[in-house]
Structure 1
Amino acid sequence: MTRIVFVLFPGVTQLDMTGPAQFLSRLPGSTTIVAAPSADAVRTDCGFALVPAAAFADTPQADILCVPGGHGVADALECNETIDFIRRQAAGAKWVTSVCTGAFLLGRAGLLEGKRATTHWAYAHLLERVGAMHEPGRVVEDGQTITAGGVTAGIDFALTLIAREAGEDWAKAIQLSLEYDPHPPFDAGTPVAAGAARTEALKARVYTAAAERMAEALKRSQ
């Protein structure tokens, strides 16, 4: 049985977790466990809550550890219970993975030192603060560590990992089963595609302050 453990914290971006979970849960012979400091419901950044399956203390050893991101990462960086759990689980896991800004929780746990990694484009410049070397891409593999870019890249990461574990044919079957065939109505999903003006406007409205908060949290937690 392959145990897939997702780490949950307040302010998580639910799609960072639920996207890959939907795909990875179909990995043959697997079970999915969502873990948090306690068994209480955890509020996501969408306004609704998710209920973990286990408290950290009761979570069995993961074969696949997945750490999602979200605006709540800045606070989670300073939660020693969460960081210690990630570090302990990673020590015995076959795969250590993250989606979006979850990479900074891996880094805070000392798991990205000297590794190539990716994250959401608005935070990529901060990866060096946790010892990682930024490599652009939706999915970046470095040994048994896999990091995914922002939010929706978690689905690509999940398919990549399924192919590593069960073969490409199985990954393609799951892709077909879930009809993952993205054709977005707009071509604005990356800074390059969106253009400098739109990217800078979004950064000014959302991400400049968010990245500064992340940088301060990283500084305090080191």
Structure 2
Amino acid sequence: MKKILLLLANGFEAVEASVFTDVLGWNMLEGDGSTLVVTAGMHDKIKCTWNFTVLPEIKIKNVNVDDFEALVIPGGFEEAGFFIDAYSNSFLDLIRTFNAKGKIIASVCVGALSIGKSGILKGRTATTYNLNDRKRQYELSKFGVKILENQPIVIDKNVITSYNPSTAFNVAFTLLEMLTSTENCTKVKKLMGFI
């Protein structure tokens, strides 16, 4: 079983998280049956940007990185407090540990900013939210990251980043393909009506 840790910060965007539970859940039931998503956060209850509330299965402090194949970080809104959790030492240390062990790290939109702040993207390529005068891409560049401005999804070694919420499904399918196979990912896409 390949376990994927879905790391949630207060203020996360529900749509950016839910695509992973759906794509990897479809794989569990209709694909090769190898993926299991586990949610984690710093709090007993986590509120997304639009007030949807999630009860994470485990707290960050109880995560054993060796139990997981991949880490997923959906983005969120600063106005909803996203960066309070996403820039916390607990978040950043977990990202560093996943990277040190060579695990896949995937993010959507401003989830990449946590990865950048952790320091693991210094000298590497990535992207993040590309609209609103590209200010989030500029922020990511301040962490020593080479920004690929117009590329929807950027893969640099073990890290997947993307440039806005519209890319979330493609990031989830990219992760599924990396964890399983092209054939299996194609099967799940067909069953979900994407091809």
Range into which the TM-score falls when normalised by the shorter chain: 0.7 to 0.9
Across the two proteins, how many residue pairs are aligned to each other?
180
Write the deviation string for residues 70-101 of structure 1: whole angstroms up to 9, x where unpaired: 11433234422222222223322521121110
With a CA cutoff of 8 Å and minimum separation of 6, indicate the structure with the bigger relative contact order: 2
Q: Structure 2 matches for 1:130-209, cutoff 5 A?
A: 130-135=143-148, 136-180=150-194
Letter in 1 for 2:16: D
- Pairing partner for 1:98 from 100, 107, 130: 107
Question: 2:62 is matched with which residue: 58, 63, 73?
Answer: 58
8 Å contact kept, 2:6–2:72: yes
- Length-normalised TM-score, structure 1: 0.75
In structure 2, the partner of 1:128 is 141
Partner of 1:43: 47
Give, in whole Å, the separation in 2 of the partners of 1:89 and 1:163.
19
* 1:80–1:145 CA distance, 2 compared to 1 (3 A): same
Show the counterpart of 1:209: none
Following the alignment from structure 2 to structure 1, what is the Cα–Cα distance between the partners of residues 157 and 87? Answer: 27
- Residue type at the aligned position of 1:129: K
Deviation at 1:32, TM superposition (A): 0.9
Q: Secondary structure at the match of 1:141?
A: strand
AA partner of residue 12 (structure 1): F
For structure 1, the 5+ residue unaligned runs are 182-222
Residue type matched to 1:22 in 2?
A: D
Q: What one-letter code is carried by the residue in structure 2 that aligns with 1:44?
A: C
Structure 1 residues 183-222: Cα deviation after superposition (integer angstroms, max 9, x where no partner): xxxxxxxxxxxxxxxxxxxxxxxxxxxxxxxxxxxxxxxx
Which whole-Å CA distance do the structure 1 matches of 2:94 and 2:180 have between them?
A: 27
Contact 1:118 1:124 in 2 (8 A): yes
TM-superposed CA distance for 1:178, in Å, is: 1.7
* Aligned-CA RMSD value: 1.8
List runs of 5+ in structure 2 lacking aligned partners: none
Alpha carbons 2:119, 2:143 under 8 Å: kept: yes
Q: CA-to-partner distance for each residue in 1:148-174, whole Å, 9 max, x for gaps? A: 221131210111222233222211111
Structure 1 residue 19: Cα displacement: 1.2
Determine whether 1:18 maps to 2:18. yes
* Amino acid in the other structure paired with 1:145: V
AA in 1 matched with 2:125: R
**Shift of residue 119, structure 1, vs aligned partner:** 1.2
SS at match of 2:96: helix
Instruction: Quote the residue 1:76 is aligned against.
Output: 85
Task: State the distance in 2 between where 1:5 and 1:30 align.
Answer: 11
Q: TM-score, normalised by structure 2?
A: 0.84
Query: Which of the two has higher C-alpha Rg?
Result: 1
Paired residue for 1:85, among 77, 81, 94?
94
